Amino acid sequence: MSEQEIIQKYFSRHQSICETVDVSVGDDAAVVRPPENSKLVVTTDTLNVNVHFYPDCKPQYIGHKSLAVNLSDLAAMGAKPIWATLSLSLPNIDHDWLKDFSDGLYALADMHELKIVGGDLVKGPLSITIQVIGSINSNLKLLRKACQLDDLIYVTGYLGDAALGLKLINNNIKFDLKVSDRNYFIQRLQKPIPRLDVSTRIVEYAHAAIDISDGFLIDLQRILTMSNKAAEIDLEKIPVSNEMKNIINQNYDIKNLLIGGEDYELLFTIDPKDKSRLQKHFKKEDIIVTEVGKIVEGIGVTLLNKNKPTDLPEITGFDHFS
């Protein structure tokens, strides 16, 4: 089967034109139309086999995650996704793998009304690069550098579950786990949920934001560095899933939840006066957002345990080149 036949068979579901797309998959390049009175937001992520996923991972999950990590970046900017391009390097043609991969990819794309409008297909080591383009209102955006003194720090969802899933896959940790709990942790790793459900609501009043891909502490530090601020984090407020509570009861240090990465939750800051507004939004929608600390003067992060400073972990997160 030729390159063009593979593209047509597995990656042409969004080939028809629509309101924002004049030319899609099949030509030398896509032709798209940005929404009026908006600015474009562009992000790119590459996922490599044995770095971001293992060869035996379900291809549906690989397709999902390869798009989800990009959508998470758009969520951190307060942007709405519109289009994506896919560059796929394959060592060989496996039709079952391609079908399942594309099913996972398009299921998430359709969930967010995103159109995949082009890309590239080559032979080589398994690698997936996706570029996503979104839009923001010209006056509304979330940036890392914009947190302010006395801001409250919030995170979505739960921390540490995905990192524990990776440890379980690698057999780096031994706990008494129910099969359902083990499956939960591994799925949190392999099928992250981009928090566009939160970012589209808070972009009108939140100050700074970042998605937690490398670890809560290291990603928080990136906001603090760009904003020239410090933070105090209360360990007793860190959101913990019911499955993780069982692990912590087996002497798993809660600080591990702050350094593992792969959460793809949203970390953001708001003015204290907007606290009731935020709580009203998400209590009504049953979306978990948790206040975990505040922005203060100074440099770096202070962890508090029962209102007393406690040591930071030696490693604060993941870095490809460290």
The DSSP symbol for 12 reads -
User: What pTM value is reported for the model?
Assistant: 0.92
Half-sphere exposure of 89 (CA within 13 A, CB side): 10
Q: How far apart are the C-alpha atoms of 119 and 105, rounded to whole Å?
A: 14
Per-residue pLDDT of the chain (322 residues; tens, 9 = 90+): 777 888 888 787 877 767 788 787 777 787 888 888 889 999 999 999 988 888 889 999 999 999 999 999 999 999 999 999 999 999 999 999 999 999 999 999 999 999 999 999 999 999 999 999 999 987 788 999 999 999 999 999 999 999 999 999 988 887 788 999 999 999 999 999 999 999 989 999 999 999 999 999 999 999 999 999 999 999 999 999 999 998 998 888 999 999 988 999 999 999 999 999 998 888 878 899 999 999 999 999 999 999 999 998 877 776 655 5
Please give the sequence-ordered ranges of beta strands (E in DSSP) within the chain, or none if there are none. 21-23, 31-32, 38-48, 80-90, 115-123, 127-137, 152-156, 209-212, 230-234, 265-270, 289-296, 300-305, 308-310
* Residue appearing with tokens 């800051």: 269
Q: Which amino acid is at 195?
A: R
* Residue appearing with tokens 């591994």: 186
Residue 203 zone, left/alpha/beta (φ > 0; ψ -120 to 50; rest):
alpha
Residue 17 CB coordination number (10 Å):
12
Of 171, 87, 90, 162, give the one whose Cα is nearest residue 124. 90
Assigned token pair, 285: 């929608």
Which three-class secondary structure state does DSSP give residue 130? strand
Residue 55 CB coordination number (10 Å):
9
Q: Which amino acid is at 163?
A: A
| 3-class secondary structure per residue, 259-273 | CCCCCCEEEEEECHH
In the sheet where 38-48 sits, what is the strand order?
Answer: 38-48, 127-137, 80-90, 115-123
Q: Tell me the CA distances in angstroms from 232 to 148, 202, 213, one per residue in order.
A: 13, 22, 20
